[in-house]
Structure 1
């Protein structure tokens, strides 16, 4: 009689104890050990009291004013128990640290901290700014930041219309600051740089040739994240239909824009959403060279592996892990953004 495998002799309660401490690639390794381990019930990992420094995805339920927090490493979704009236019928626009910039209707803008529930109001927008579609801000607006400004611009117009305000001012009037720059990826693949100079009109410069029309027609979504180590920006292009992924590095060399298609993030993880993205040193074993999108499969977070060119999801309770070369079965929340929480 053939001897039993050593892995078959481990009691089920020990296997469950082991599985409860596995995250990321450890989950796949556990499943691959043998047939019995592949089909054994797994206990979802518990978030430690002091979890790894990892971005979380904030989703705003505009119909109820409730906020969801998704923690990608542990595949855990937590929800605020209290509806916040101010957040109803609102939309997330941008984020820095724990702070979200949120719009309500066509005129009202405010900051919201989902960790502390603090709100900082901004003056109502004038009528000429109500169609501004892209928003960002320079730094967290709390008391430690004395130079936080909000900037919004519209893709229409050449150059695009811009509105700016310094936090604490009462009107959306042109108040400009020295050495502040906003990078904007154009809808044709070129790069626009908005420079905000002290006591002068903000100036635009555009760099790089437009992509060919055939290529432009294939792009459905574009995400951008700062690449500090390489002194540039990363642009993630997601195609229509199947959801093919390309990553390009944009970098200014003097007055020349250098664009390079890259196939590896090395030991880094990219977290992308339409309103804001960030590049982090690998947040857990096996998540290097991966892109976390603001997408879900059966309520489980989804990441894309640049090496395998497939989408994956951890399902700690499922028998078989999800993997796919397309995005046909994935769901996107309507108002969400990744934040780099200072107080998880």
Structure 2
């Protein structure tokens, strides 16, 4: 009884607040599990990080209001920056790599924007006869890279096989490549094509198979090659998929695919790995080496866990209740949030009450 009184009433609230202000990620749950008194003590949110974060951040562009928001998943905090850059008004985020975003503007405009320095690198306008008919874009490396050529590629989805736009940064004109033949690969809702070594791009097909585009001769003008791999998923599985995200799986030299179901937002993770001419697909129940996935349209990352409780989790571009970030736990198959200001932690088995910003993407600090 004496010990219980000590835990319940012996520590002043201001001291508990000081302790809680230094907690991040799963330490939040451990704090609440100490005793009943601590369980119902509101936490003091940790201060925003002063240095560059170790994990990717979700960037939300609210261009019409002149605001850029950055969500830090470890501290579960959104910081806001004013950005009076006319070029961003009406622009759309297409893809990300390190600090650089590939943006589109209007029907033909394309440019790069650095989310840290606010630098802009212009690209030539898209061809007038096609305009911007591409729903998926990617680029090979930062556009200011001194060690590699930066290729930018757009995909016209919804046709057999996707036509592509290609330009190498420094060229004065885009090249549009048509593919008139039908095949067993098509995609209408791909969102994050993945650039691999040797200028090969992985693209997830509508039916769960894999398409690979190979850029030839280190040239945008030379016609690239399409190849497809893998059998189709059963039709019942195809129709159950609401959204798919892809991320590079560096350690296994392949890609991870996160499928979000149409019903309640159930999540499946699959590993795609090409061995010779055979595509191997494996459904995963956990992420290797306690890693964390950050997925969004145009930019996704698989990273080593940097804070207790973030391993084997998937962060989606979703929020609940006033900008509180949400992750999916593969072990418990539920959505959670490290909500430091709430007495009871958020958890849900579905996505019904979650909100996704219109223009957002995961970015991370990176070097050339």
Match of 2:212 among 193, 199, 219: 193
Q: Which residue of 2 aligns with 1:322?
A: 346
Shift of 1:164: 0.6
> Per the alignment, in what secondary structure is the counterpart of residue 248 of structure 1?
strand
Where does structure 1 differ by over 6 angstroms across 4 or more consecutive aligned residues?
Answer: none
Q: Equivalent residues in 2 for 1:255-294 (5 A)? A: 255-266=277-288, 267-294=290-317
2:64 aligns to what SS in structure 1?
coil
Q: What TM-score, normalized to structure 1? A: 0.95
User: How far, CA to CA, are the matches of 1:179 and 1:50 in structure 2?
Assistant: 35
User: Could you say which residue in structure 1 is the equivalent of 2:28?
Assistant: 27
Q: In the alignment, which residue of structure 1 is the partner of 2:47? A: 46
**Higher deviation after alignment, 230-239 or 49-58:** 49-58
Give the match's secondary structure for 1:179.
helix
Match of 1:205 in 2: 227
Give the match's secondary structure for 2:16: helix
Once residues 41 and 93 of structure 2 are traced to their aligned partners in structure 1, the CA distance between those partners, rounded to angstroms, is 40
Alpha-carbon distance change, 35 to 65 in structure 1, aligned in 2, over 3 angstroms: same
What's the TM-score once normalised by structure 2's chain length? Answer: 0.89
* 8 Å Cα contact 1:129/1:163 also seen in 2: no
Question: Displacement, 1:46?
Answer: 1.7
In the alignment, structure 2 segments of 5+ residues that lack a partner are 178-196
Q: CA deviation at 1:144?
A: 2.8
The count of residues paired between Structure 1 and Structure 2 equals: 341
Cα drift, residue 121 of structure 1: 0.5
Specify whether residues 282 and 179 from structure 1 end up closer, same or farther in structure 2 by C-alpha distance, changes over 3 A only: same
What is the deviation of 1:305? Answer: 0.2
Matched, 1:251 2:234: no
Secondary structure of residue in 2 paired with 1:159: coil
The answer (yes or no) to whether the contact 1:241–1:328 under 8 Å persists in 2 is: no
Task: Return 5+ residue gaps in structure 1 as ranges.
Answer: none
Provide the rounded CA distance (Å) in 2 between the counterparts of 1:192 and 1:101.
22
Q: Say whether the 8 Å CA contact 2:163–2:176 is kept in structure 1.
A: no
Deviations 1:224-274 (A, max 9, x none): 000111111000000013000000000001100000000000310000002
Residue pair 2:293, 2:315 contacting (<8 A) in 1 also: yes
Partner Cα distance (1:232, 1:146) in 2: 21
Whether the 8 Å CA contact 2:94–2:102 is kept in 1: the answer is yes
In structure 1, C-alpha distance between the alignment counterparts of 2:278 and 2:120, rounded to whole Å:
41
